[in-house]
Structure 1
Amino acid sequence: MTPDELYALLPTVIRRRDAEEGGPLRALLTVVAEQVAVLQEDIERLYDNWFIETCDDWVVPYIGDLVGYEILPGIAAALSDDTSWGTGLSAVVVPRRDVADTVVHRRRKGTLPLLEDLSSAVAGWPARVVEHRRLLCVTPSVRRLTSEAGAVREGAAGGGLADLRSPVALDRLGGPFDGFARTLEVPRAGSARRPGRYGIRSVGLHVWRLRPYSVTRAPAYCLDRDRACYTFNVLAIDTPLFTAPVPEPSSFHVADESNVPGPIGRSALAERLNDYYGPHKSLCVWTGPDDPVPLDRIVSADLTGWRYRPRAGQVAVDPVLGRLMLPPGTAPAHGVRVTYHYAFSGDLGGGEYPRPEPAPADGCEPYRVGPGGDHGSIAEALEHWQAAKRAHPHKAEAIMEFTSSDVWAELDEIRLDAGDRLTLRAADGVRPVLRLRGRYGEDRGRVLTITGPRGGPPSEATARIVLDGLLVTGGCVRVRGGVERLVVRHCTFVPGWELEGRGTPLAPGAPSLDIADSPVRVEIRRSVLGTVTVAGRAGREPNRVDLCDSVLDATSRDATALGSPNGSPAHIVLTARSSTVIGSVRARAVDVLENCLLHGEVRIDRCDRGAVRFCWLPPDSPTPPRFHCQPEHSRAEERVVLRFAATRYGRPDYVRLADTCAEEIRRGGDNGSEPGVWRHLFEPQREDNLRTRLAEYTPAGCDAGVYFAT
């Protein structure tokens, strides 16, 4: 109901008197109308809240209670806090899909495929269930063991010899699809101290926590044109290829290798090439502009050391290293394009995953750069924008949108005038790469300079720029002049500028973002950056740096991740939430450091301002007052040590906490999850929820355990 409609309900005499006195009652009803609109919207939602498919998140636990859905101990108190609804905790601990299927699951209780459905519904993790007791060694009858070949055949069903001539079976050894017979293990599968696997009552649920992400028709990197050696990853690093999972045909089907996002082995690719290769499958290769390489020309090979020599017309693919090779001297002039899938923990950095985009200003049409767009290069699009501004000064806002996952190497400077609003972003479903120099070019990396207007006081800096969905490699982004704000969203500035084949940075500790004498405020969200340096003057207002759900990686904990170019504390005020920093942090002051993993020295000059909450940081760091920070809070510094699964950018488990990390860290965030950039995944809660559901639905007489495949 609008304020005018509410005002019209009053008697005419009241409205006349209100008009004579200047309309104070109308002004009051304008405020009341806002609350009436909220109440009216709530009334309209009452019908939708009767159904699990359409209800609000806060209603899901109440509907679950009606059908007897069990909430984890301690979670009910957390859900009673109003702040939990905005963090996404309720959607994790009380999944809508699991509540909706509660009755159906109870009817299927005792069936093994149900456990896979539970993992997907409760934790969001693909899974495969295995009856490990069927793989236990048994003593066969002498009459059945007629020959060695028969023993090998018995081994496929359990209780016999392993076939060492089967490379596919050997690749599966120790994994979820291992079919070799094993001896009995005494520990139970569900033991909290030392879980076993191969027991008489054991049922294993193998889950994949890493998610598959696609790279579509992107250029492969040519390492050696004469020998036609390429890497799938445009950064020229070895990247294991993963399966793009296909849905299971029915709810009674037990997942196989095509239904889970696991790494592709060489033998598996050779045996099931048709399942993995194709334009809309796990990987595909184009050596021409139109059709992909035919299936019969693809061969699986071990390209370690590039010793393999493909025959004429063949394309050798190594899915373990993410390499491909053509016959020598046949590298196409226009390059090779590939589609593949890699694994990562979540939506972070540059990628083809969906990104929420802020609404542009009215009348601001994007300048589309690339295939299907209006401009062939970013420099051409910037020139058109500058010409449009000169003709129409009100066109100070522009959006440059990349339409393909190509490599763009011509951009080295962006000039902004006062009042400009510029956005460089990737279109939906693409990951453009800004290469600031060729890999084998000059010794010093090039710099992408963003220059604002000069000459005015810092208070008159009004230019703004947004970088969204980009992958920047080969150098540094430098900001100088009168730029008011720089926003980096869903971007990757490769730590160390460039990487060698195994992920070693070529320029360890080199800055990825350099603020050179500019009053700019930096906002970094859902991004991966290398070192950030800020050169500010002590007599000027400090720069503000806001870090949220991001990674700063100086490539070593002894290097500087955030500071000034000379290594002293930067003249900034830092705000960091749910972020992971590898390297030292040196700043003048902080507003708040919250839910962060700070793997390096932390030095804050002003300790009388700000707060540090729910973080892990070295205990001897000079900081503002700390609250619930590890390892001080647990008083076990030798045991509560920060351990990552990997700290090299490019690894699938990059900046994930190791499974052996102390529980005080894994559950050290303010929401009971881990601090750091993966805090929003709520993995400890997902695991607890899954184990609780397994205890409820495991077949009678069985002992279920959860095993992490990735």
Structure 2
Amino acid sequence: MSLSPDRLYDLLPAIYRARDEEEGFPLRDFLRVLAAQANVVEEDIERLYDNWFIETCDDWVVPYLADLLGYSPLPEAAILDGTEPALGRALSPRSDVAHTIDARRRKGTLSLLEDLSRDAARWPGRAVEFRTRLGCTQHLDHQHANRGATIDVRRPGPLQLLRFAHGAFDPWAHRVDVRRLGSRRRHGRFNIPDVGIFAFRLRTYPVTTTPAYCVEESGPQCYTFSVLGHDTLLFQLPVAEPSPTHIAHESNLPVPLRRYRFALRGDAADYSRVSPELYGDGKSVEVFAPDWPTKGQGMPVPIDALIAANLEDWKYQVPRNHVALDPHTGRLQFPANQRPKRGVWVSYQYGFAGDIGGGEYARPLVSLQGATVYVVHTATPLLPLADPLPENHFASIKDALTAWATAKAATPSAHALVIELAESGLYDGGLDIQLDAGEAIQIRAAERTRPVLRLLDVHASRPDALSVGGGAGSRFILDGLLVMGRGVEVHGPQDDDPNAAAGDLCELVIRHCTLVPGWSLHCDCDPKRPGEPSVTLDGTTASLRVENSILGPVSVVSPARRTEPVDISFCNSILDATGPARVALGAPDEAVAHASVAFRRCTVIGQVQVHALTLAEDSIFASTVRVLRRQVGCVRFCFVPSGSRTPQRFHCQPDLAAAAAEPAAKVATLLRVLPAFGSLRYGSPHYMRLMDACCQEIATGASDAASMGAWHDLFEPQRQSNLAARLGESVPAGTDAGIIFAS
């Protein structure tokens, strides 16, 4: 609700307002104060009505409505004070409270367990009664033809389901396993009372109409779905279940696309066709090749021209007028004598743990106050550029910057510019941006897009990074982009620069971005330029703020005349030097970077060498940390390797575990309390996720009992505990229910 600050003043008779104007508006200023407080009271009264309903109430009201229904939250929810809304949503999920009465009516049904997984933990799930998978003799009067049979080694498709999604769709019969499903030591699975909920924690994210990457070293007919050139596992776009009582199938869950499911096989076919359930507009995969195989075709490539194949070695012989597609590696291969001349574009789904690093997910758009907005487009097969473009619309970022320079010359009061990249396409070229004093420029992705800024190696005599500089009070912001090819360099004023008196750039902000670690990737996700910095602060006093982003190393080059340390802060981010022996944050010409750094909920791969560490909390440092000034700052609830030099540490690992261990067991404890990641390579679905086998000191070692590191805000331990509590309330007596993580 937006109320005028002068609404009380406007109620006064005109004679009083005229006299007030003669006196310099003292009465108006007084009534504005009263109106501001009246607005607060009225807004609170309106919220009281909204707080009657679970769908519209504030987050702090949810536990109170839950108490009215007899909903029993976790004990941790009782001590929340409203300062951590994300944790509160994990401990008292709104949807779970809303469906409490419905869940009680359906207690004991199999479909309810899937709904509990979605409501209580926000994980899609598949419920399985393991007694139906036991190999046993059936009664002739009560036959179950859909029960599992012995393994048929001649059918590779069903065999693949044994390991796929940890057996959530396993079709085979098994022998009895007497271990309990909920055992704390070794979990059983196949027994009469066992009921399991397979939880799928990975999320699927779309990539819409983006260029495919031509792998020229393997052949001009070879392409990858990822514009970075690495192999990427394609995922299923989940289809909504038809009814509340429906048990989830493979098509209803965020799972990888298996080759044998992606293929549509027939007895009379001499090659594998693609399933129409997975390919096409609004489906999991779509390919565009303009004017292929003949002019006017290929928009999109028809499903009859696609072949599901194994392209791991690029040796598949593709028939003419066909395209081979491998969903397991995310590769495309055209006939060698029938290559696409106008490029290839793709739409697909990939898997990732959460909303970090940019993508086609909802993120808050932070706009500059009073900014001019320019929109930049890139040509795609579905949306060719208009001729001419509308006003304030441009074909490249350079054109937008040129127009902004002209606009500033005509309007000296212009001080803020937002360049919005409108499509999830590829934007080429290097940029050299120099900001005036007090100027702010933001380059951001449009809502629900993932634009890729590719910095090309054009100049042989100098670096081709995105170069940024500015005067006093200037700011530069990157928001929602994927930057590949090079990094970002911030240059400070040189002593011989005639504009040095104008000051230096004030701040560089990176939000929801990925500056690819190693600049580019090989097919196996190994970096092409390991250890190269993603951000270089060269002789500048500008501060660096990184939020919800993925970066390679940060390099700090101090100015010739030493000033106060540069302020650098990381929040909910990953700082990846592509190897624990490399330097993630340091200086190329000094022992430590002249910087004052703060880490909040971050994962750092590589050594940290800084002047001061003002704060580090809920973070994982995979390599040693070396801080010059130890009298300032605090490190709390972090993993810091032995041998690190830091400020005072509080409740950190492995210090805490080693102090509690017996002297003879200290070495074993130090070897046990280590972070275990699913993958250390960017491009993998499990990038920087802690493995399920990771020690509890790290998996639940944050200040709020969540996991340390960049994925702290997923609150997976709290979700798991909440789901386990709800399962115990909803299964029949004598049933052993448990959670099995399928991803």
Between the aligned partners of 2:54 and 2:643, the Cα distance in structure 1 is 50
Between the aligned partners of 1:590 and 1:646, the Cα distance in structure 2 is 27
Alignment match, 1:37: 39
Q: How does 1:282-293 map to 2 (within 5 A)?
A: 282-288=284-290, 291-293=299-301
One-letter code of the match for 2:284?
S
Between the aligned partners of 2:563 and 2:316, the Cα distance in structure 1 is 61
Q: How does 1:489-504 map to 2 (within 5 A)?
A: 489-504=511-526
- Which residue of the other structure, out of 658, 669, 674, is the alignment partner of 1:641? 674
CA gap 1:67/1:608 in 2 versus in 1, 3 angstroms: same
What secondary structure, in the 3-state scheme, does the structure 1 residue paired with 2:78 have? helix
Using the size of structure 1 for normalisation, the TM-score is 0.91
Deviates more, 1:223-232 or 1:492-501: 223-232
Alignment match, 2:534: 512
Show CA shifts across 1:539-597 (max 9, x none).
Answer: 21221111111111001111100011235211111121111111111111122111111
CA gap 1:275/1:446 in 2 versus in 1, 3 angstroms: farther
Between the aligned partners of 2:160 and 2:257, the Cα distance in structure 1 is 10
Q: How does 1:255-274 map to 2 (within 5 A)?
A: 255-271=248-264, 273-274=275-276
Q: How does 1:614-633 map to 2 (within 5 A)?
A: 614-633=637-656
Between the aligned partners of 1:356 and 1:181, the Cα distance in structure 2 is 49
- Which residue of the other structure, out of 306, 310, 320, is the alignment partner of 1:298? 306
The answer to whether 1:462 aligns with 2:451 is no
Deviates more, 1:260-269 or 1:171-180: 171-180
Unaligned runs of 5+ in 2: 265-273, 292-297, 380-384, 493-503, 659-668
CA gap 1:202/1:331 in 2 versus in 1, 3 angstroms: same
Alignment match, 1:312: 320
Alignment match, 1:427: 446
Between the aligned partners of 1:328 and 1:650, the Cα distance in structure 2 is 28
CA contact (8 A) 1:551 1:677 kept: yes
CA contact (8 A) 1:461 1:483 kept: yes
Give percent identity, aligned residues only. Answer: 45
CA contact (8 A) 2:452 2:482 kept: yes
Deviates more, 1:98-107 or 1:385-394: 385-394
Q: CA deviation at 1:443?
A: 9.3
Deviates more, 1:482-491 or 1:161-170: 161-170
The answer to whether 1:244 aligns with 2:237 is yes
Using the size of structure 2 for normalisation, the TM-score is 0.87
Q: CA deviation at 1:476?
A: 2.1
One-letter code of the match for 2:421?
F
Q: How does 1:309-708 map to 2 (within 5 A)?
A: 309-362=317-370, 364-371=372-379, 374-437=393-456, 446-453=463-470, 461-481=472-492, 482-537=504-559, 539-566=562-589, 568-635=591-658, 636-708=669-741
Deviates more, 1:329-338 or 1:681-690: 329-338
CA gap 1:567/1:536 in 2 versus in 1, 3 angstroms: closer
CA gap 1:443/1:708 in 2 versus in 1, 3 angstroms: farther
Between the aligned partners of 2:714 and 2:11, the Cα distance in structure 1 is 50
Between the aligned partners of 1:119 and 1:285, the Cα distance in structure 2 is 34
Q: CA deviation at 1:630?
A: 1.3
Alignment match, 1:147: none
Between the aligned partners of 1:107 and 1:38, the Cα distance in structure 2 is 41
The answer to whether 1:172 aligns with 2:161 is yes
Between the aligned partners of 2:536 and 2:402, the Cα distance in structure 1 is 25
Between the aligned partners of 1:500 and 1:644, the Cα distance in structure 2 is 21
Between the aligned partners of 2:358 and 2:53, the Cα distance in structure 1 is 37
Alignment match, 1:456: none
Show CA shifts across 1:465-520 (max 9, x none).
Answer: 11111111112211103221111111111111111110111221111111111111
CA gap 1:330/1:442 in 2 versus in 1, 3 angstroms: farther
Alignment match, 1:103: 101
CA gap 1:331/1:403 in 2 versus in 1, 3 angstroms: farther
Between the aligned partners of 1:605 and 1:235, the Cα distance in structure 2 is 38
- Which residue of the other structure, out of 78, 85, 91, is the alignment partner of 1:93? 91
What secondary structure, in the 3-state scheme, does the structure 2 residue paired with 1:105 have? helix
CA gap 1:599/1:368 in 2 versus in 1, 3 angstroms: same
CA contact (8 A) 1:156 1:162 kept: no
CA gap 1:425/1:248 in 2 versus in 1, 3 angstroms: same
What secondary structure, in the 3-state scheme, does the structure 2 residue paired with 1:633 have? helix
CA gap 1:443/1:140 in 2 versus in 1, 3 angstroms: farther
What secondary structure, in the 3-state scheme, does the structure 1 residue paired with 2:261 have? helix
Unaligned runs of 5+ in 1: 145-152, 454-459
The answer to whether 1:62 aligns with 2:64 is yes
One-letter code of the match for 1:689?
N
One-letter code of the match for 2:435?
L
CA contact (8 A) 2:550 2:576 kept: yes
Alignment match, 1:457: none
Alignment match, 1:157: 147
Q: How does 1:1-20 map to 2 (within 5 A)?
A: none
Q: CA deviation at 1:220?
A: 0.6
Alignment match, 1:50: 52
Between the aligned partners of 1:367 and 1:415, the Cα distance in structure 2 is 20
CA contact (8 A) 1:471 1:491 kept: yes
Q: CA deviation at 1:386?
A: 1.3
- Which residue of the other structure, out of 191, 200, 213, is the alignment partner of 1:199? 191
CA gap 1:475/1:24 in 2 versus in 1, 3 angstroms: closer
Between the aligned partners of 2:485 and 2:200, the Cα distance in structure 1 is 33
CA contact (8 A) 2:114 2:127 kept: yes
Q: CA deviation at 1:431?
A: 1.6
Between the aligned partners of 1:295 and 1:22, the Cα distance in structure 2 is 75
Show CA shifts across 1:73-94 (max 9, x none).
Answer: 23312x2x24233xx1111111
Between the aligned partners of 2:640 and 2:532, the Cα distance in structure 1 is 23
What secondary structure, in the 3-state scheme, does the structure 2 residue paired with 1:655 have? coil
Deviates more, 1:681-690 or 1:472-481: 472-481
CA contact (8 A) 1:467 1:487 kept: yes
CA gap 1:186/1:421 in 2 versus in 1, 3 angstroms: same
Between the aligned partners of 2:627 and 2:122, the Cα distance in structure 1 is 40
Would you say how many aligned residue pairs link Structure 1 and Structure 2? 687
The answer to whether 1:185 aligns with 2:204 is no
What secondary structure, in the 3-state scheme, does the structure 2 residue paired with 1:696 have? helix
CA gap 1:671/1:444 in 2 versus in 1, 3 angstroms: farther
What secondary structure, in the 3-state scheme, does the structure 2 residue paired with 1:216 have? strand
Q: CA deviation at 1:394?
A: 2.1
Between the aligned partners of 1:673 and 1:574, the Cα distance in structure 2 is 23
One-letter code of the match for 1:345?
A
CA gap 1:37/1:48 in 2 versus in 1, 3 angstroms: same
